[in-house]
Structure 1
Amino acid sequence: MPQLESLKDAIAKALPELDVVIAWGRGLDALGATPLFITKPEDLDDMILGPSCVHNLATYLPGLRDRKVGIVVKGCDSRSVIELLQEGLVDRDNLTVFGFACSGVVNVPRLRGAADRHPVQSMEHGSGQVRLQTDTGPVALPEAEALAAKCLTCTEPEALICDHFAGPHGTAERAAVSGNPQGTLERLEAMDFESRFRFWEQEMSRCLRCYACRSACPLCVCQDHCAAQSRNPHWVTQEDTPREKLMFQAIHALHLAGRCTECGECERACPMDIPVLALKQALNREIHRLFDYRAGTDPQATPPLFHFKETEENIKERDW
């Protein structure tokens, strides 16, 4: 794979000046990529690149801000890096970004189900299909079913910020999807208030309060002082009720208003497959309407809720 070899060459040259490079490595099988922390040239042999590289590796950056770190990013991951830089949570002088053109990542649980939980020896992505080879035979799914939902509407397949880019720009192949795929947010907006409340009540009844969504989020950096577990002030109880679970998710979403890059890690990490990303998407839509701002797209911009204006152009509160 030319992209992979190009990335390996760039990382090998930069590695002597870095403490660690965060990339992806092979997991238990071809479908199970895992984060790989490269500290020596031999580690590059374990590096992989492909549709199984689902993790947003930017999640690790705040914990390594005082180290010289390299990171490999897809387009959506690069938006998280930009947002971390905007908020001063990462030092640009300590960061080396290796980017590439992404053709989409897969929905791993869905493909595991399609493979009937058998180990996957190999996976190929192209010509409108994702093809798996298992010990019981081949399995193929259309891209529209196999890829992560975020990939079907992706607008940034290439890294928006990087020091080394693998291969020529403009080479990412978009998934061929008929029509406009309807996400959870669109379905919720078509419901009346009561139906929407019942939807969230049912979804939150399945929540385990494991906080995997919080742990996977690259922008949720106050986990040691999270309001969900604070006793002073005591905002949320530990009661196992849909109301308290939804309260936590609402707080989480509001803390990410104008910051969430919709990388989908919260939803991917949820063991109960709860569509929590829709809450962040709803707030992002309002932020865009009011402030004409999309998180993680401009390294020089300031997130709208990080500064104060007496009058906002699209709010005009003085005219009320």
Structure 2
Amino acid sequence: MDAIMHIESALETAAALAASDDAPPRLAAAIRYAIFPGGARIRPRLCLAVSAACGAQNLGASAAAAGAIELLHCASLAHDDLPCFDDAPTRRGKPSVHAAFGEALAVLAGDAMIVMAFEAIARAFMDRPHLLPPLVQTIARAAGMPSGIAAGQGYESEPQLARSQYQRAKTGSLFVAATVAGALAAGADGAPWRMLGEGLGEAYQIADDIRDVASSPEAIGKPVGRDAALGRPSAALELGVDRAVALLKRLTREAVDSIPACPGADWLKAQVLIETLRVLPEELLRRAA
């Protein structure tokens, strides 16, 4: 079973548990709509890749950790698109959750997916209870305060935004969770993997900034030009596209260099380079070669 199949299986299990016979049908439908079909599943794939590189023997449990991180990501998208935040009508090439189900169910679906993430971790690691405290703490810090995705959303209500602080919370926190949780799920020390998550989180946010100014809604499945319209910090707007692409490449190299010694280090380094650089069109990458 490949990584995507492991991840989708974990997400299907979580969605099925949330849609039992006594669940509110429309809320259950909104949750499934928010999860499937997914995007690139970058964060859970990173989590599973780190776990495999660390020599995980049970990728099913690691996939549950990966799925939990994707549930947090899906929750953040449902909330981020709401009229009180970005007011985005589309996501992943289809109407956003609130556009399809209404604001109330979009809020509840996001809330439910956050709780589902913790349930997924608890179910997968009941036979290894010693791993639950660090995994729960890792997931919780990525979701909440003072520097998780809730904090990242909260910065948007502050009178001034520092790009690095805002983007570390809103984007980087889940990448850190992916690398640390991936190592923990394999029984390895999670602390040395934090730098990889931080570097990739910053790199992917810069890639998103670039796509927002240099791509199209059809290509990325969501509105473009939102950073300028909403006054959000953006590397592409601050530095220009070429310098932002050069920064993306440098951060990716630094992230790869930070990968700790592990059985699958060389394989993981190659995967990170491939996955990070393919998020941008080839012509943009050539401009800053």
TM-score scaled by length of structure 2 = 0.30
Structure that is richer in helix per residue: 2
TM-score scaled by length of structure 1 = 0.27
Which protein has the larger Cα radius of gyration, Structure 1 or Structure 2?
Answer: 1
User: Quick one: higher RCO (CA 8 Å, sep 6+), 1 or 2?
Assistant: 2
